[in-house]
Structures are given as structure tokens and as C-alpha cells.
Amino acid sequence: MPDIRLKYKDEDVHQYLLYIGKKAFAMASGIKTLQLDYQYSVIDMHKIDYQFFMQKNTADALVLAVLGDFKEVEAKSVIHEILARLITITKGDNKALREYISMLEILASNRDINLDIQQEFEMLEVEIEKLPSFLIGEKLGEKRGEQNKALLILKFRSSLFIITN
């Protein structure tokens, strides 16, 4: 990849750190030593009003709203609004909707937002069984069930061996 400064010689180059962590941001915004002076700007998503993203008409922006500052609005209300708008914006494209809802789940968990996502899906009539996170959980459950079944069979056979010998 070419150096940005070489490609855009007449442009100022800026670097940003986009912080989405759970805890309050507490990191330096640069490094300064005798041989190095490096600075970058920090954008702390906790401090950006979630409405900034809600005003955009893209699914990507809507999902990012969950990282913003909800002000006095209850998290459940914000999530409900995001989901409703995602349904409208994806216009029946269930695959895209599932992908955005999966992103929303991940980002909401990163912010320690405990949601009853299933209840929200039911209210908005989203098919939870088709969400990637649901399918992953289902596969893990099947795998664990098979492992438990194998262990039970093994225990049963070993107990038969002990009884017959």
C-alpha cells in the first residue's frame, strides 16, 4: 500500500483513534520522547450524541448509534428505534438485516447494554432464528448435545463392563 503522504502530496494527513471501549477513555493521545513526537486525535464514541448517527439514512450509521451517548434516553428505546429504522432501510433484504442486527448485538454487548433482543425482535417481527448469532448458538448447542450423548454412552458402556466382569 502506498504511503498516503506520497499519494496525496497537497493534502494534510491526520490520524484518528476511534475509541469504542467499555470503560472511559484513559489513554494518551500521542507519544513524545527525545527522538519521537507523534500525535493523533481521539474520537471517543461515548461522547458523541447518538442522534448524530440516527439522522443519517444508512444502516452503517444506525448501527454506530449504539456506541454514542444516549443522553437521558433509555437504552431499550434507542435499540428499538435503531431496529425499526434498520428494518425500513434494508427494505426486505433479510440477509442485510441479519448482518446489521448481528453487528448491533456485538456493539451493544461491547457497551454493556443488557437488552432483551429477542423481545425487541418479536415486537418488530424479526425472524430471530435466521440471525447469525442464533445459528452459531444453535450449532454450539447441537455440538454440546452430541458430546454429552457420547459421554453418557461411554459411561453406560463402562458401567456394563464393570458389571459383567
Are both 18 and 92 inside the same structural domain? yes
Which pLDDT band holds residue 1 (cuts at 50, 70, 90)? very low
Total tally of structural domains belonging to the chain = 2
Domain range for residue 149?
138-165
**pLDDT, tens only, 21-46:** 888 888 888 889 999 998 889 999 99
Q: What is the pLDDT of residues 91-146, one digit of tens each?
A: 878 889 888 988 888 888 888 776 666 566 666 555 556 656 666 767 777 777 77
pLDDT at res. 123: 62
* Interatomic CA distance for residues 117 and 50, integer angstroms: 19
In this structure, are 133 and 160 located in the same domain? no
Q: Check whether residue 157 and residue 133 sit in a common domain.
A: no
30-32/16-19 β-pairing:
unpaired
- The stretch 8-24 carries a mean pLDDT of 86
Residues 100 and 150 in one domain: no
Residues 60 and 94 in one domain: yes
Average pLDDT in the chain: 81
CA 102/CA 72 separation, integer angstroms: 25
Same structural domain, 22 and 52: yes
Of 109, 46, 119, the C-alpha closest to 80 is 119
